[in-house]
Chain A
């Protein structure tokens, strides 16, 4: 195990070094990608060892950062799940990136991306491995900073710079909250996570609540919970596509990991309001995420908002698990947490696939705006088919993996209706309704995303000239698509294993609820049963039978190709097709109270007569209301304070010297007063 750990570090480090040393050509691209793939495979093997063979791993490195306490690494099953999903997305993304990076051939950006990508992957893989506070915070900050640099790759564009600013600000605010949280946690006694776990039992309830609240804010901002998600729709489109895939697929999951680690593992669960708050935040994030995703017509922003939605779904599972744990319903808590963890893995895989597909589209056409794309299925058949697999998976359609984890999530909310407290029952009922609505709207959104981007006629000459992605990009996507199917069919093996990891955390005495019988998944107490394998097999069989029967019995006349029906009009142009904005318009009207769109219609009349119209222009914008009512006032307040503080920076050396002397005098005075040597 230690060898695998060292190989993990070695792989990423060598990839980073290769990127720096080997110039800006194909060799550098491939060498850095290879290093990343080696590191990711080592990570996957390490995680598999911990999960499947139950091998424990821990490593202390007091030499690094010795004066401050040294670094410590341990891997337990919970961390192994997150390490596995990171590696699972990292390897295909690195492979994809080798081909994608041709975009920067000959430019220094190639070196920067190759180096930073490996640093990012290294620090991100080390987060689940961290065994102590210092280690955790160091690799966490390393992950945030390296991803910031990756986001800023194309810093010649102003919106990229703005996205980077938002991202940096949100990560630093999160870090501040995390620092506060860990400091409070350590007030019970310093040490690694195992010492903290023991000491947390002695903390007063007020401190525990404060630790939880700060951790929720800090990890929630990384995960992208509303209202701390504002960086997501800005940073993800700005970053290169394989980086977006990694950020959306793996990095935001680290927020979930942190939340689980602090609230469930270190603090050992808490009062019911913790779980209720997390569940409510998750439900709201899920619904608002998908509502705003529906209105996006930039392909990557749409996917970013869907990440907010899916993080909301995962958080709902986590919240339900915390809630049931505090209500002494361990079997239900296990099911909820298993659903959340499984959805984490599934989302990593299909969101990675979707971002890689969007990257291929961007690479081929240079555009992300769906209203200018279309007809790509002819020029990019592989990408289209793989994007379709990703769309079906994220919409929760059987027989893919998204459906299995959504089924588990539904089933996990059901026991809550029978909880002793009526408030919990009402919360569960509302969450169920919001979950179902989110699932339906997600399917609608992906019909739009796939249909408008890939189907029908190209809406611009760039879209018409699209070419298929290179083989490495395709290979990366194929790996993830296959993983989607494997995760679904293999559910009956994976879910019991997840259950055995989670059960000790929620205090299940004895053996964990198995959650699986034969080829089927089963909820505790035998409430419901479902087999993804049989559903997939049945579906395939029926479709095949239908196809054969139709081939045998229906008419043998050849298929004739003709014009699309247009009520007698002869020529079909791209302007007659539906656009993404038009597709989402009914939903925009229905949910207008949430969106509050601003609409502006201006009509240019003919100069000679007001009865003839020359042009009509329609402009509509949706500003998310938390940005208008929460962030804008806060930002303007901070700006006005900083302007006042600016008065201190008078530029006069005399003033600065006065400040120094004043500070020295105050410090000495304080020491005298408190009587310290």
Chain B
């Protein structure tokens, strides 16, 4: 597998991951968001597997398998269950409308390109070409968290952020040791369970998962 091919595939894989993230800004509806997250996790697993094939490191294959299982299958099932419970209410307008969100997303990608330019020029790895896109996804997921109103979408934003950091690690350093990776997965799973409880409590208190309702707690 030649370095040029790896370069192209890293860019391709990162683009798919980023596009799934941008789809979160474009599509409304919880089911579409969960679908975007699932597609993103699958793309991330595929990219990790590709890097694993290139470097011949079995740990990356294991990480890819874990990613697929946990984030590609497990968490979406849990999310779908949550959606069935809480997601049946009407569509909420985000703080920033769709077209503007997409344009802001584009600008964030350009910003990420500027920010990672020194990193890319220093690195020697053929996978470095996908790093700006991974960084772009970090910014885009942060934007999703701050600009969307539904708690479920914010949880998805957080999970996307985790995906972005994982992609950055894979592309920038060809992965991190598997012990650390398993630890990170455990953290994410724990965080997700906590958030699930949190969303449940919000729904119990306000009969909706609109995060703006939390303002009412002041009264």
Contacts and interface: CB of A to CB of B under 8 A. Distances in A.
B113 interface: yes
B117 interface: yes
Interface string B114-150: 1001000000000000000000000000000000000
A195 interface: no
A426 B100 contact: no
Nearest to A427: B110
12 contacts: A422-B113, A422-B114, A422-B117, A423-B114, A426-B110, A426-B113, A426-B114, A429-B110, A430-B110, A590-B99, A593-B97, A593-B100
Given A422-B117, A426-B113, 10 more contacts: A422-B113, A422-B114, A423-B114, A426-B110, A426-B114, A429-B110, A430-B110, A590-B99, A593-B97, A593-B100
B87 to A, nearest CB: 28
Contacts of B100: 593
Contacts of B97: 593
Interface string A420-444: 0011001001100000000000000
Interface string B71-90: 00000000000000000000
A604 B110 CA distance: 52
A593 B100 CA distance: 9
Interface string A396-423: 0000000000000000000000000011
Q: Which of A423, A426, A429, A430 has the most CB of B within 10 A?
A: A426
Nearest to A421: B117
Contacts, number: 12
Interface size class of A (residues with CB under 8 A): under 10
Interface size class of B (residues with CB under 8 A): under 10
A429 B110 CA distance: 9
A593 B110 CA distance: 22
A193 B197 CA distance: 75
Interface of A is mostly: helix
Contacts of A429: 110
A118 to B, nearest CB: 50
A426 B116 CA distance: 13
Interface string B196-209: 00000000000000
Interface string B97-110: 10110000000001
A440 to B, nearest CB: 15
B122 to A, nearest CB: 14
Contacts of A426: 110, 113-114
Contacts of B99: 590
A441 to B, nearest CB: 15
A537 to B, nearest CB: 40
Nearest 10 A/B pairs, CB to CB: A422-B117, A426-B110, A422-B114, A426-B114, A423-B114, A593-B100, A422-B113, A426-B113, A429-B110, A430-B110
Interface string A186-215: 000000000000000000000000000000
Contacts of A422: 113-114, 117
A602 B117 CA distance: 55
Nearest to B132: A422
A423 B114 CA distance: 6
B167 to A, nearest CB: 21
Contacts of B114: 422-423, 426
A423 B97 CA distance: 28
B85 to A, nearest CB: 35
A310 B99 CA distance: 26
B104 to A, nearest CB: 11
A344 B114 CA distance: 33
Nearest to B117: A422
Nearest to B97: A593
Interface string A565-608: 00000000000000000000000001001000000000000000
Nearest to A426: B110
Contacts of A593: 97, 100
Contacts of A590: 99
Q: Which of A422, A423, A429 has the most CB of B within 10 A?
A: A422
A430 B107 CA distance: 9
